[in-house]
């Protein structure tokens, strides 16, 4: 009840404020965690129903947890149970030998050398997005147009993943992505009740029936596409298109797991996380015009009017873990917590010496995790993001729209509840 009460208070504060300030602290997203941290300190245990959760917000202890090499020290078991329709038995919620086997198969296909081979796909999708924005701006009287970037970022990221996994354009996989978004939205609303009362997810409620139906529909759609690719003789496809993963990893899982496709993780976390990150980047640059100008100048210095390639992106990047945890406890690291108000200031310059040099503790900020469970898709995500930002910044200037309402909300990831709208002008 304390969690629900805190969320309700935070929600009302946003609703009652016509233009909420651009605050980026934990209280705006996880108000209960911030309240309890102030009351109980950086290490405490709380319960959601019968589930005990160990909250950890000590960088040195987080390092110990994330660098632990024991296969028994993995993701909380509830993730696979509660988010099963979304994540299946994929690499994100899995533990032990299942996780080790999946990572061994998937990780090599997302090494930087393989990502380099995907640059043509990423560039093609990025240029298509830029062209669509240009057409929209040119068709508007005055040369300035409002664009909702969150859905467009999802299309961009979805196009890349769809082409990479199946060699198809986003239009062919659009239905799959839309259903995933719908499923994610429905499941985000039942998270707390499902955690506290695990039996609820098995009851044939209206929401559960919708979740089950979407899960089956998504499974059927992906299986249909895979069968079409196999029948068309696409088993031998170069790894540049990421389809070695389809042949080695996706197909066997589809054949052995019918109700819980492990490919769900690939779709959600390589699509949704990249898209949401891009949306937040554009929001921050739109609300900080001085930094937008500085970043644009740096991009132009590196690219010199050319379309960015992998060498440019890498050149730009180069120039700029003994406390026992009880069995059954679920360690939760405070990834959105900050201790000082000045940390909330938007100041990209703090990253000029890399992520580890941006914080007093190298483990205080871990956008892709740390240790053996570091995100396997980080290289692809960063290349996507850098190329997209470079293309947008060299073609457009933008500011926040008056219609933008800052309301970050925790779903499976932190998303803009009301989307991100910016006013775009062609350079």
pLDDT score recorded for residue 303: 86
Beta bridge partners of 148: 421
pLDDT score recorded for residue 21: 54
Query: Who wins on pLDDT, 255 or 350?
Result: 350
pLDDT score recorded for residue 4: 61
The strand ranges marked E within 293-344 are 330-333
Pick the range with the lowest mean pLDDT from 57-66, 287-296, 317-326: 317-326
Q: How far apart are CA 81 and CA 198, in angstroms?
A: 8
pLDDT score recorded for residue 297: 93
Percent of the chain predicted with pLDDT > 90: 18
375 annotated as ligand-binding: yes
Q: Where are the alpha helices (DSSP H) in 168-205?
A: 170-189, 191-196
Model confidence pLDDT, tens digit, residues 370-398: 777 788 888 888 899 999 999 999 999 99
Mean local confidence (pLDDT), 89-114? 79
Among 199, 204, 202, 154, which residue's Cα sits nearest to residue 180? 154
Mean local confidence (pLDDT), 173-193? 75
Pick the range with the lowest mean pLDDT from 8-12, 90-94, 143-147, 405-409: 8-12
Which tokens is 297 given? 């100048």
pLDDT score recorded for residue 132: 94
Give me the chain's average pLDDT, please: 75
Helix 149-166 crosses helix 119-138 at what angle (to 10 degrees)? 150
pLDDT score recorded for residue 71: 62
Query: 0.85 exceeded by the pTM?
Result: no
Q: How far apart are CA 153 and CA 151, in angstroms?
A: 5
Which residue has 């934990």 as its token pair? 26
Mean local confidence (pLDDT), 204-222? 87
Model confidence pLDDT, tens digit, residues 240-296: 444 433 333 333 333 443 333 454 455 555 667 888 999 999 999 999 999 999 999
pLDDT score recorded for residue 91: 76
pLDDT score recorded for residue 59: 80
Q: How far apart are CA 95 and CA 65, in angstroms?
A: 14
Count Cβ atoms below 10 Å from residue 285 Cβ, excluding itself.
Answer: 25
Count Cβ atoms below 10 Å from residue 328 Cβ, excluding itself.
Answer: 10
Count Cβ atoms below 10 Å from residue 74 Cβ, excluding itself.
Answer: 18
Determine whether 192 is exposed, middle or buried from the number of CB atoms within 10 Å of its CB (0-12, 13-18, 19+).
Answer: middle
pLDDT score recorded for residue 397: 96
Q: Quick one: how far is CA 318 from the chain centroid?
A: 24
Complete domains list, the chain, with CATH: 2-320+323-426 (1.10.630.10)
Which tokens is 409 given? 């909300």
Task: Give the length of the chain.
Answer: 427
Which tokens is 192 given? 């707390």
pLDDT score recorded for residue 320: 46
Among 332, 370, 373, which residue's Cα sits nearest to residue 72? 373
Answer whether 287's CB lies under 8 Å from 22's CB: yes
Pick the range with the lowest mean pLDDT from 164-168, 235-239, 274-278, 290-294: 235-239
Determine whether 359 is exposed, middle or buried from the number of CB atoms within 10 Å of its CB (0-12, 13-18, 19+).
Answer: middle
Question: What does 78-127 look like in DSSP terms, one character per residue?
Answer: HHHHHSHHHHTTSTTT--HHHHHHHHHHHGGGGSHHHHHTTHHHHHHHHH
HSE-CB of 395 using CA atoms within 13 angstroms: 21
């Amino acid at each position: 009840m304390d969690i629900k009460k805190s969320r309700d208070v935070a929600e009302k504060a946003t609703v009652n404020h016509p233009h909420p300030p651009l605050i980026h602290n934990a209280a705006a997203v996880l108000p209960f965690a911030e309240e309890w941290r102030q009351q109980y300190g950086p290490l405490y245990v709380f319960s959601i129903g019968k589930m005990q959760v160990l909250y950890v917000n000590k960088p040195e202890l987080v390092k110990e947890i994330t660098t632990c090499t024991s296969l028994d020290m993995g993701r909380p078991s509830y993730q696979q149970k509660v988010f099963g329709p979304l994540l299946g038995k994929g690499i994100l919620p899995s533990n032990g030998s299942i996780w080790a086997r999946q990572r061994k198969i998937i990780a090599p296909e997302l090494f930087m050398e393989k990502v380099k081979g995907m640059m043509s796909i990423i560039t093609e999708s990025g240029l298509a997005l830029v062209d669509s924005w240009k057409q929209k701006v040119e068709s508007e009287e005055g040369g300035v147009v409002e664009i909702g970037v969150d859905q467009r970022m999802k299309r961009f990221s979805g196009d890349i993943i769809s082409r990479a996994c199946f060699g198809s354009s986003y239009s062919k996989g659009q239905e799959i992505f839309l259903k995933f978004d719908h499923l994610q939205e429905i499941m985000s609303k039942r998270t707390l009740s499902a955690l506290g009362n695990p039996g609820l997810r098995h009851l044939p409620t209206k929401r559960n029936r919708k979740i089950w139906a979407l899960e089956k529909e998504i499974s059927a759609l992906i299986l249909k596409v895979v069968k079409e690719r196999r029948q068309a003789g696409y088993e031998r496809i170069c790894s540049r298109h990421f389809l070695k993963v389809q042949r080695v990893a996706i197909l066997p899982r589809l054949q052995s797991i019918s109700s819980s496709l492990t490919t769900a993780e690939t779709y959600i976390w390589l699509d949704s996380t990249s898209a949401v990150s891009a949306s937040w980047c554009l929001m921050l640059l739109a609300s900080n015009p001085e930094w937008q100008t500085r970043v644009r100048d740096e991009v132009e210095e590196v690219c010199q009017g050319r379309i960015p390639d992998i060498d440019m992106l890498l050149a730009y990047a180069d120039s700029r873990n003994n406390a026992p945890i009880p069995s059954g406890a679920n360690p939760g690291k405070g990834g959105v917590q900050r201790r000082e108000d000045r940390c909330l200031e938007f100041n990209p310059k703090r990253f000029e010496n890399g992520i580890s040099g941006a914080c007093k503790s190298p483990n205080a900020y871990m956008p892709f995790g740390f240790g053996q469970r570091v995100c396997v898709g980080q290289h692809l995500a960063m290349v996507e993001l850098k190329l997209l930002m470079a293309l947008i910044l060299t073609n457009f200037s933008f500011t926040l729209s008056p219609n933008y309402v800052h309301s970050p909300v925790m779903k499976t990831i932190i998303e803009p509840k009301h989307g991100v709208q910016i006013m775009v002008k062609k350079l």
